[in-house]
Amino acid sequence: MAQTLPTILLVDDEEHSLSAMRMALEDDFDCLTAKGADEARAFMEEHDVQVVFCDQRMPGKTGVEFLSEVRATWPDTVRIIITGYTETTDMIDAINEAGIYQFLTKPWHPDQLMMAAKNAVDLFRLTRDHDRMSLEMRYLSKSVEVKLEAQRKALREGMGFESVLRSANSPMNAVIEQARQFATFDVPVILSGEAGTGKRTLARAMHYASLRSDKPFFEFDCTAVDDDILEMELFGARRGANTGLPTNKAGLFQKADRGTLYLSGIEALSPRLQLLLLRAARDGAFRPLGGHEMMRSNVRLLIGTHRDLRLEVSEGRFNPETYYSLARTTLCVPPLRERREDIGILAQTYLFEAAEEHGKPVKGLSDDALQFLSDYDWPGNMRELENEVVRMLIFSQDALLGPELISRHILQATPEKRGVSETAVDQVLIGTGTLKDRVEQIEMRILRETLTRLKWNKSRAANELGLSRVGLRAKIERYGLIEPARSGVRSQSDEEE
């Protein structure tokens, strides 16, 4: 495809001057010629003119007057004036009024004219490129800001309080309302609760609901970490002999500057590290390991603990000043056993997430399975629930996961006494009551677990337990065990009877 030649407009009232200029430039440019300002303006309106060569002395409008109009209407067009006179007044007027790029005096040389035309075309192209790039930069800047805001919104929604799974009537609703209020105040918050209750998720949600949401969020578990390593991770270290590091290491207080740092397990900190944390929390000051200079950082601290720090303080195991510097507000996260309404939502969510991760399609958990899961105490809270659901997925053969996949100790939990976990047998053994009553408690749980695990196939259950089918049926009736309804499907127990 042939390249389009740049368009140049030549304006002069003398025909021989127009012909001479055209002859000098037409090999490299698309030349338009006009004998006056009116004709030249008509060309400007019809063509994308890049450069105008205009004679100063013309009948009607002078070159400066015409080029002033060009400047007002087509400011990108490069304007060059040609004159046979060198009056100072004309030159000043041309510069001020018409924004003249260059003067050419008559008689001009063809090489001089060609050089002026090429330079003017280059200037036009550079000006257009600059304007385009400026426009693009303004658009991109706006576009980037829009994208950043969209990302921030997605983070707030995806990692904010909406990510805390719960039912409509969940006890977590009141906790989250408190957390929303705490999030907007730039003060330390202690999140207390048993291990696995979701304190980390709640801390992250508080960060993304705070004024620091566009700044970094870091988290670190302080448990089972040596003092030197912990100090290095939190406050950084300087290279040298006493650290053994080849380069400086930035700590979390430095990395999280102007952001949020979530620390869990601080009840395990040594007295020395408690004092270092006190200084960082109270004054924002810390000294890197192996360093001599003090550094400062503006970090919001969120603290996760599964112990009662007030009790730790009263018993002398935790520094009271450190505690009160961190405990501006305290948020108590309830255990899963107090969130019965949420267990179904959490279990189904964990199941679908695990199924997607492992590429195993499922439809969900059956109502019976959900009932068994809801009856259990979950001493390991959400971590234990997630582990159990993944285990069920691994052993599942059907798209709908039933209660037979649930671990035996969960099936043995007594629904009438919610919260009986793996220690239930021990509790019965050391509890009170007659021998007959205590044995029956254990027997009922074993029967219930075995029948559920074997999908209420009574023949298999009787065989495994060493009972006759008549004896098994009698025990089922005695303990009031009811087989889950299987609408529209004959149960295996019916087939085996």
Q: What is the reported pLDDT for 107? A: 85
Percent of the chain with pLDDT over 70: 85
- The DSSP secondary structure of 372-389, one letter per residue, reads HHHHS--TTHHHHHHHHH
Higher pLDDT residue, 416 or 487? 416
For residue 393, name the pLDDT band (cuts at 50, 70, 90).
Answer: very high
For residue 461, name the pLDDT band (cuts at 50, 70, 90).
Answer: confident
Q: What is the reported pLDDT for 423? A: 42
Give the mean pLDDT of the chain: 83
pLDDT, one tens digit per residue, over 485-494 is: 643 344 444 4
Q: What is the reported pLDDT for 10? A: 94
Q: Are 149 and 214 in contact (CB under 8 A)?
A: no
How far apart, in whole angstroms, are the C-alpha atoms of residue 386 and residue 198?
12
DSSP 237: B
pLDDT, one tens digit per residue, over 417-446 is: 444 443 455 566 666 667 777 777 777 777
Q: Is the pLDDT of residue 353 over 70?
A: yes
Q: Is the pLDDT of residue 202 over 90?
A: yes
pLDDT (average), residues 448-477 = 77
For residue 478, name the pLDDT band (cuts at 50, 70, 90).
Answer: confident
pLDDT, one tens digit per residue, over 395-407 is: 999 899 988 898 8
For residue 23, name the pLDDT band (cuts at 50, 70, 90).
Answer: very high
Q: Are 305 and 265 in contact (CB under 8 A)?
A: yes
Q: Are 191 and 279 in contact (CB under 8 A)?
A: no
Q: Which residues contact 487 (CB under 8 A, 6 or more apart)?
A: none
For residue 474, name the pLDDT band (cuts at 50, 70, 90).
Answer: confident
pLDDT, one tens digit per residue, over 66-105 is: 988 998 899 889 999 888 765 556 566 666 667 888 888 8
How far apart, in whole angstroms, are the C-alpha atoms of residue 269 and residue 267?
6
User: Domains in the chain, ordered, with CATH?
Assistant: 7-129 (3.40.50.2300), 161-334 (3.40.50.300), 337-422 (1.10.8.60)
Among 139-148, 192-201, 206-215, 473-482, the range scoring the smallest mean pLDDT is: 139-148
Put simply, whether the predicted model's pTM sits higher than 0.75 gets the answer no
